[in-house]
Chains A and B, each alone.
Chain A
Amino acid sequence: MSVSLTSFLEVMPPLLKAAVVTVEISVLSLAFACVIAPPLAIARMIGPWPARFAVSVLVEAVRGVPPLVVIAFVYFALPAIGLTFNGFWTGVAALTVVGAVYAVDIVRSSIESLGRGQKEAALALGFSVWRAYLEILFPQALKRILPPLTNELANVIKASALLSVISVNEISHVGHGLIFETFIVAEVIIQMAILYLVIVGCLSALSRALERRLAH
């Protein structure tokens, strides 16, 4: 099988359009995940017991099933209780939950690794426990959180390929469609791979830039 430039260019416009969708879903879900993970992690550490219990159940449940099941749950099961999402927002919601759940444990273990002296210093100054965690401990833990978090978030981006099962027009879905419509295979697959590499590469670059800023 040969790879032709003409075919490569032919499938490029629809794949680029699909890449925009993958990027949109990834950026939104990663952003939401990063916003909700720290409070969830702190709730799991110091919240009242119902909050600790609820977060633990969520974390264990979501971590225990494949992301595909989470997507199917949001798409097919939530409408039963009146929550209906289209494909795009199903992707955002499901990947937000998946990303947040993995981030919760990373945030928690990073904060716990700081040692109790930091917490005591913040409390002794007069921070409430919640504010000590959010304003003193979490910013300090960021440096330890970033590398493992980047790994997990890269997995979340790649999990967006699973949205093809509910016909979201992201890279994988569009790519498969193109293969069956045009019988151009290698050019599509190679381009899909390059697009994912670029997207995940951007995340890694962003994370490294952040790490450098946090270096101390």
Chain B
Amino acid sequence: MRGITKSYGAFKALDAVDLDLRRGEKLVVCGPSGSGKSTLIRCINRLEEPESGLVTIEGQKVGAGGAELIALRRRVGMVFQQFNLFPHLPVIDNITIGPRRLKGMGRAEAADRAIALLERVKLADQAHKLPSQLSGGQQQRVAIARALAMEPVLMLFDEPTSALDPEMIKEVLDVMLELGQQGMSMIVVTHEMGFARRAADRIVFMDKGRIVAGAPPREFFDNPSHPRLRQFLDNILGH
């Protein structure tokens, strides 16, 4: 992405941000709240409309609307802080609704693949429950399976563990770690620095709508380049 800018009134949420991701790369985005992390990844699939700038995915420009944007969203999975599962549908239908309605996949095939995905996130026994009957961690793993059902080339995670009890964070991060090891391209907005250290190929730090530092995990943590980053790391790793 090139020169992505987004403001809310006078507040500049993103200030001409440039960012590149290689296929299969795991990128963690961190930074203080209000630094523009979520806005950044929401500009990738245009849940937020940037004022200026360009996003390209596999050589294809992400347009402002229409059929191209919809086609692109089908190839970019997104996982939200609040899970956003469809509460009126059982777990399995949450996963099959995308492939069935958007790709015209048959009921049986979609269900088989949904079960396989649920096995991957270790929830095969929960297929027929409603989302409200699951714990937060389980719901978030279903949300990951729902996004994977569209066979995305890129997965976006918007603070996927911020709404979870501490004990459930690990089960979600484990699934994400495994997904990364299987070669999925991922952009993860998170405060989980342990996850960042283990899973990320590269970590970027944002402040006031800009990317101010970016490095592989070891260098990022052991040799922070920017004073604001040093202060951030001190604050979150300090205890």
Interface residues of A (CB under 8 A from B): 117-118, 120-128, 131, 135-136, 139-140, 143, 214, 216
**Which A-B residue pairs are the 10 nearest by beta carbons?**
A126-B74, A121-B84, A124-B78, A117-B84, A126-B73, A125-B98, A140-B88, A126-B102, A117-B82, A216-B130
CB distance from B56 to the nearest CB of A (A): 18
Chain A's closest residue to B102 (CB) is A126
Interface residues of B (CB under 8 A from A): 45, 47, 70-71, 73-74, 76-78, 80, 82, 84-88, 97-98, 101-102, 130, 132, 146-147, 150
CB distance from A135 to the nearest CB of B (A): 6
Q: Select which of B87, B130, B150 is within 8 A of A125 by beta carbon.
A: B150
Q: Select which of A123, A135, A214 is within 8 A of B47 by beta carbon.
A: A123
List 21 interface pairs A-B (beta carbons < 8 Å), by A numbering.
Answer: A117-B82, A120-B47, A120-B80, A120-B84, A121-B78, A121-B80, A121-B85, A121-B86, A123-B73, A124-B77, A124-B78, A124-B80, A125-B97, A125-B150, A126-B70, A127-B70, A127-B101, A136-B86, A136-B97, A139-B88, A216-B130
CB-CB under 8 A from A140, the residues of chain B are: 86-88
Besides A127-B70, A135-B101, A216-B88, 10 other A-B contacts (C-beta < 8 A): A118-B86, A121-B80, A121-B84, A125-B73, A125-B150, A126-B71, A126-B150, A136-B86, A214-B88, A216-B87
Chain B's closest residue to A137 (CB) is B86
CB-CB under 8 A from B78, the residues of chain A are: 121, 124
Give Cα distance in the complex from A86 to B150, angstroms.
53
Q: What's the A-B contact tally at a CB cutoff of 8 Å?
A: 57
CB-CB under 8 A from A117, the residues of chain B are: 80, 82, 84
Give Cα distance in the complex from A158 to B84, angstroms.
41
CB-CB under 8 A from A128, the residues of chain B are: 70
CB distance from B112 to the nearest CB of A (A): 19
CB-CB under 8 A from A118, the residues of chain B are: 84, 86
| Residue from the set B71, B74, B84 with the largest chain A CB neighbour count within 10 Å | B84
A125 touches B80 (CB 8 A): no
B98 touches A126 (CB 8 A): yes
CB distance from B229 to the nearest CB of A (A): 30
A125 touches B74 (CB 8 A): yes
Give Cα distance in the complex from A139 to B102, angstroms.
17
Give Cα distance in the complex from A131 to B98, angstroms.
12
CB-CB under 8 A from A120, the residues of chain B are: 47, 80, 84
Give Cα distance in the complex from A126 to B73, angstroms.
5
Q: Select which of B71, B73, B86, B88 is within 8 A of A143 by beta carbon.
A: B88
CB-CB under 8 A from A124, the residues of chain B are: 45, 47, 73, 76-78, 80, 147
Give Cα distance in the complex from A180 to B126, angstroms.
67
Give Cα distance in the complex from A146 to B74, angstroms.
32
CB-CB under 8 A from A122, the residues of chain B are: 86
CB-CB under 8 A from A123, the residues of chain B are: 47, 73
Give Cα distance in the complex from A143 to B86, angstroms.
13
CB-CB under 8 A from B73, the residues of chain A are: 123-126
CB-CB under 8 A from B102, the residues of chain A are: 125-127
CB-CB under 8 A from A214, the residues of chain B are: 88
Give Cα distance in the complex from A128 to B97, angstroms.
14
Chain B's closest residue to A135 (CB) is B101
Give Cα distance in the complex from A128 to B76, angstroms.
15
Give Cα distance in the complex from A53 to B148, angstroms.
40
| Residue from the set A118, A126, A139 with the largest chain B CB neighbour count within 10 Å | A126
Known: A120-B47, A124-B73. A216 touches B84 (CB 8 A): no
CB-CB under 8 A from B101, the residues of chain A are: 127, 131, 135
Chain A's closest residue to B77 (CB) is A124
